[in-house]
Amino acid sequence: MFIYFLSFCEGIYILKIKIDEDKCTGCGNCEEICPKSGKIWKINTVAHVSHLEYCHVCTLCAMKCPVDAIKIMRNAPRE
Ligand code: SF4
Ligand code: SF4
């Protein structure tokens, strides 16, 4: 099951980060590597993101995820 996080809208630009809860182990790598981790990431049993207006779209979190559970969509469709 995927969790979708709508981040921010700036004209037609919508950034989303989705976490695959079935893959996420809660390891915390994403939170550790993110330059804005305190504002964006919260790890319980799985990872959650919020306040993506602080996201640089550096993709470090996705690159550091050992189970490929993070998908970053820079130009996601509105829902
Ligand atoms: S893309 Fe970069 S700034 Fe955005 S959540 Fe991931 S690590 Fe943080
Ligand atoms: S790095 Fe991947 S597996 Fe680890 S907490 Fe973040 S999303 Fe979950």
**For residue 75, what pLDDT band results from cuts at 50, 70 and 90?**
confident
| 29 in contact with ligand 2, CB cutoff 6 A | yes
Kindly give the number of the ligand 2 atom that is closest to the alpha carbon of 70: 7
Whether the CB-CB separation of 34 and 53 falls below 8 Å is answered with: no
Residue carrying the six token digits 């319980």? 44
For ligand 1, atom 6, name the residue with the nearest CA: 61
Q: Which two tokens stand for residue 31?
A: 């939170």
Given a cut of 70, whether residue 4 has pLDDT beyond it is no
**In 21-78, beta strands by DSSP E:** 41-43, 47-49, 70-73
How many CA atoms within 13 Å lie on the side-chain side of 79? 8
Kindly give the number of the ligand 1 atom that is closest to the alpha carbon of 33: 7
Whether the CB-CB separation of 54 and 40 falls below 8 Å is answered with: yes
Statement: 2-73 belongs to CATH 3.30.70.20: yes
Residues 8-67: tens digit of each pLDDT? 444 555 889 999 999 999 999 999 999 999 999 999 999 999 999 999 999 999 999 999
Query: Where are the domains positioned within the chain?
Result: 2-73
pLDDT, residue 10, reads 46
